[in-house]
Structure 1
Amino acid sequence: MRTIPSLAVSLVLATALGDATAWAAAGARQTLVVQRVFPLEIIVAGTVLMGATRAGNMISASLGQVTVNDTRTGNRNWRAVVSATNFVTGNGAGSQTVSNANIAYWSGPTTAFSGSGSRTPGQSTFAQRVPLSAQQTAFRASKGLQPTSTSWTPTLVITIPASAPMGTYTGTVVHSVA
């Protein structure tokens, strides 16, 4: 399995008395990351701004489209996996860390598919979201003789501890395919 350069995700926490919406546009940008294991590749957004919320809340945001292209010959299977680091602010000590156990992933359904074969989301519904404290299956597929392309738009759900101080928290979400 090869791992791609990561998806950087930022989360901004506002103070209990502050205006969370004022932070929402800070640093928003999208880049593209491609893992090429020709003829199997995964393409993900490079940077996502989660938005702003207050300590003790839950926040969710789309990570953008993820696409796996499989042009290998013959009948083949692949599995995309996802993992995350802790999200930290400051030096990451104590309450300046949001543990990856508080970060959940929901792959959602297939958003685009071409070619022959089958595809299975890791988590079809929001209720099936999984914590990223361990590597999780994001998607699986099998292809027939034709090349295939499978896309989905996952959602990241973060539960912010009530003790989390105000700050910009950054973490890494990594998608891999094999």
Structure 2
Amino acid sequence: MALICIGFLTFPEAGAAGAVRAEPDTRSAPARSALGLNITAPASVALGSTTPGGTISAHLGSVTVDTTLGGSWTATVSATNFTTGGHTTAETITKSRVSYWSGPFTSKTGLGNPTYTPGQATAAQAQALDVPRTAFHATGLLGVLQTLTWNPTLVVSVPAAAVAGTYSGTVTHSVA
């Protein structure tokens, strides 16, 4: 029986202007933006294993946005294809087969009464990461410290023709 193992790196990314970090943050420290927005995500996660044609569903770990300015912000999630070996068609799980759902927030701190809206509140609302998706949106008062944390779930549907191997890809969270 062929075994498919899936792991990946997440690159914390900040982005009022869409700034991209060139290297992964292996310490899981927050990425900084000029607007007082910070986002922290796990540096790496092993999702597990399955057989070709199987599905893996796993929590990614805590993703946290904190702001020193308050106000409105949107956290976005995107992904690359997951590949192994020579990256041939049989060695690629396309990002359209990778779904994400943020779920509800797991903790929040701060003053004021901001409104937090998950991009995908339930598993039934999971969205394929073939294009960037909203992970969370906040609307609040300017000048108010706020922190929000959620533990999203990634669902990977492995093609039946996939070859055995350890697949890796990148899931990126950004905030603006």
Under TM normalisation by the shorter chain, which class is it? 0.7 to 0.9
Q: Does 1:149 align with 2:144?
A: no
- The alpha-carbon deviation at position 4 of structure 1 amounts to 4.6
Q: Do the aligned residues in 2 keep the contact of 1:40 with 1:71 (CA within 8 Å)?
A: yes
Report the TM-score when normalising by structure 2.
0.82
Structure 1: give runs of 5+ residues left out of the alignment. Answer: 9-29
Q: Give the total of aligned pairs.
A: 155
Q: Does 1:57 align with 2:54?
A: yes
Rounded to whole Å, the distance in 1 between the matches of 2:125 and 2:24 is 22
Q: Do the aligned residues in 2 keep the contact of 1:44 with 1:67 (CA within 8 Å)?
A: yes
Alpha-carbon RMSD across the aligned residues, in angstroms, is 1.8
Q: Does 1:88 align with 2:86?
A: no
Q: Deviations over 1:55-95 (max 9, x none)?
A: 101101111000000111xx621000000000000010111
Rounded to whole Å, the distance in 2 between the matches of 1:62 and 1:34 is 20
Corresponding residue SS for 2:163: coil
Match of 1:102 in 2: 97
Corresponding residue SS for 1:76: coil
Q: Does 1:122 align with 2:119?
A: yes
Q: Do the aligned residues in 2 keep the contact of 1:5 with 1:33 (CA within 8 Å)?
A: no
What is the aligned-residue identity percentage? 41
Rounded to whole Å, the distance in 2 between the matches of 1:6 and 1:112 is 28
Q: 2:163 aligns with which of 162, 165, 172?
A: 165
Structure 2: give runs of 5+ residues left out of the alignment. Answer: 1-14
Q: 1:5 to 1:65 in 2, by over 3 A?
A: farther
Report the TM-score when normalising by structure 1.
0.82
Match of 2:33 in 1: 37
